[in-house]
Amino acid sequence: MTLTARFAGLQDRHGPLTMGQANMARCVRRDPPEHMNFLAIKWLPRRATRDDVVRATELLLARHEGLRTTWEDQGQHAHGSGELAIAVHDTDGSPADLAQQAGERLRAERFDLEGEFPLRMALVCRQGAPRLAVFVLPHTAVDAISLAQVLQEWERLLLGAEIHAQPPVHPIDLAEQEHTPESRKRADATIRHWREGLGRAPQTMFPIAFDTEHALLPRLRVRSAAAATALERATRRTGASRSIIVMAAFGALLGLRTGQPSCLLASLSSNRTRPALRGHIGPLAQDALIVADLRAATFDELVRRFRVAALSGYQHSRFDSDRLWNTIDTLDEERGTRYARDCVYNDMSLQAASTGEPPPEQEAELAWLEPASLPANLSLWVNRLDESELELLLWISPRALARAEAERFSRGLIRLLVEAGEHIVDLADLRKLTDVTPTAYGPGWVRSEGSWVRPAAVRELVESAVPGCEARVVVNDDTTLTCHVTGTDLAREELRRLCRSGLAARADAIVPHTFVTPAPPPR
C-alpha cells in the first residue's frame, strides 16, 4: 500500500546547480548508495494519523524547492507540481525492526537524479496504527545539518504547527549568487589555497592504500569527562576553541604514529557562517583542507598552528568540485603523487543530543561498535564537545592501526588533552606521555615529495604498469627518484601516465621524477 503526498500551484523554476550540489552529484553517481544516502527513522506521536503524515510531507515539499528538484542538462528543475509516494508497511511485531529493514532497502538503491525527487519515505504501522516514519535523502539534497533541519521541521508540521517564516535561500538562488564576480574571486582563492597546501603536504598520512568503496571499518567510541574539563582550561590558556584543540591533538598523534613532519587533514566544513545560509536546505558542507607543520616545541604552539591552518581551511571550503579536482590532478601529475584523503576530521558536536547515559568514570572509556563503511585510513568524528563530556568516534582501517594500537592511540589522545589542561606539554615527551608507537621506517624507505616512499614499491609500480619491462630505481642526493627502464620502447611521458594510473593501489610509491630508457638503435 502507498500514500501519496501532492503539491501543486507552486513556481516552476529552472536554474544552475550549486557548487555543493555539483560536488555531491559526482559522488552520488559514483560511490556506493550506502555512502551517499542518508537514512533517518523517526518515532511518531501516538495520536498521529496517516493523513497527518501526508499533510506534513506536502507542506514540507511546498516549502523547500530542493526537495522537489530533478537534474537536467547540468542544471536543475524545481517542480511546481508533483507527487511523492509513501510506502506503508504494517506489522504485528517490532515496528522498529521493520522500519530499519525498510530504510535499508530504500537506501541501497542509487537515486536517479534526473528521474526522481531527492526524498524517499515509508510509513511503518503496528496493527494499522502509524508508529515510525522512514526518510532517505541523497547528499545532493541535504548535508547532515540540513537533514536535521528537515526532520525537525517535518515533526513540527506533523504536530500541526504553522511555520510562517519564509524558507532561507533556495538552491537555484544560491547557485545564481555563486556566479557573481565576488563569488568567483573567492572561488579562485580557494583553488590557490588547495594547490599551495597540497604542494607542501604528503600525498597521504599513512603510506597505506585503502578501499574507497566497500570497506567496513571498525569503529571505536571514546568518552571522557576528564578531557572535557581539561579542554575548558586549555581553551582559556590558548584562546583556541575546544574543537581546534582536539584537532591539534589528533594531528600530533597522527604525526607521531606516521613519522610525518606535517599533517594533512580533510575537515568537514558546514559553510554556514553567513546568516542567510544557516537554515539552507542543501549540501553546503564540503572539505576544508588543513595542512599544519607538526615541528613545534610545545602543544600550545601546535594548537596555534592548527588554529591558523583551520581558519584558512574553513575560509576556503566552498569550491567547484570539477575545477578543484582538475587542479589536484594537475598538481599530482607535476609531483608524481596521488592525493588520497586518508585522514578526516569531522566536528558534529553542534548537532549533539543527550543520550541520557551516565557520565564516564574512567579517564577514557572505550567501546567498539559495529563496523561501518567509510573510505579512509583514520577518521575522527567529534560527537559531543561540551563542559561535561567529550565523545569521539574513530573509524579505523586495520591496515593503519591494529585493534590494540587503535585503543592505545585513543587513550593517548585523551591523555594528551588531559595533560594539556594542566600545563604546557613539551612535544618531545609525546611518545612517553601517550604510549603511541611510531611506525618503524627501515632502510627500505626514503622521503620524497614530502611523502614516505619505498623505492622497491616504485619499481613494482613501474613493472606493473608496463608489463615485460625491468626497472631499477635510484634515489638521488636531492631525494628525487630516477628509474632506469629496459624492455620497453615507450616514451617517457607515456611511462609517467601509465605509472600514475597505478598509484591508487600503492600509497607507498610515487611516479619517478626521471625515466632513463635505452637509446633507440641506429637507423
Q: Which residues pair with 516 in a beta bridge?
A: 484
Answer yes or no: same fold for 204-317+338-434 and 446-516. no
Secondary structure of residue 23 in the 3-state scheme: helix
- Please tell me the predicted confidence (pLDDT) of residue 135: 99
CA gap 515, 126 in Å, rounded: 69
Which residues of the chain are under the pLDDT cut of 70?
213-214, 353-355, 519-523
Superfamily of domain 204-317+338-434: Nonribosomal peptide synthetase, condensation domain (3.30.559.30)
- Three cell numbers at 36? 551517499
**β-strands 75-78, 470-475: how paired?**
unpaired
Round to whole Å and give the CA distance between 319 and 18: 10
Phi, psi of 439 (to 5 degrees): -65, 135
Alpha-carbon distance of 501 to 251, in angstroms, equals 29
- In sign, the C-alpha dihedral spanning 6, 9, 14, 20 is negative
At the topology level of CATH, where does 446-516 sit?
GMP Synthetase; Chain A, domain 3 (3.30.300)
Instruction: Tell me the C-alpha distance between 38 and 166, whole Å.
Output: 25
Task: Please check whether residue 299 is in contact with residue 248, taking contact to mean a CB–CB distance below 8 angstroms.
Answer: yes
pLDDT of residue 273: 85
Beta strands 343-347 and 75-78 are: unpaired
> Phi and psi of 358, rounded to 5°?
-65, 150
Q: What is the pLDDT of residue 357?
A: 85
10 Å Cβ neighbour count for 452?
Answer: 21
* Cross-strand pairs, 136: 39, 120
* pLDDT at site 446: 98
- Enter the C-alpha cell of residue 438: 611510531
Coil, strand or helix at 52: helix
Instruction: Give the DSSP letter of residue 152.
Output: H
Q: Report the pLDDT value the prediction gives residue 58, as an integer from 0 to 100.
A: 98
**C-alpha of 58 from chain center:** 32
Query: If you ran DSSP here, which 8-state letter would residue 212 be given?
Result: S
CA atoms within 13 A on the CB side of 284: 22
Number of H helices, E strands in the chain: 15, 20
pLDDT at 523: 65
Q: Give the three cell numbers for residue 327.
A: 587542479
Where are the chain's structural domains? 2-170, 204-317+338-434, 446-516
CA dihedral 405, 343, 279, 319 (to 10 degrees): 180
Q: Give the pLDDT score at 491.
A: 93
DSSP codes of every residue in 77-130: EE-SSEEEEEEEEEESS-HHHHHHHHHHHHHTSPP-TTTS-S-EEEEEEETTEE
CB-count burial class (<10 Å; 0-12, 13-18, 19+) for 361: exposed
Q: Of 3.30.559.10, 3.40.50.10470, 3.20.20.80, 3.30.70.330, which CATH number belongs to 2-170?
A: 3.30.559.10
Rounded-to-5 percentages of helix, strand, coil across the chain: 40, 25, 35
pLDDT of residue 279: 87
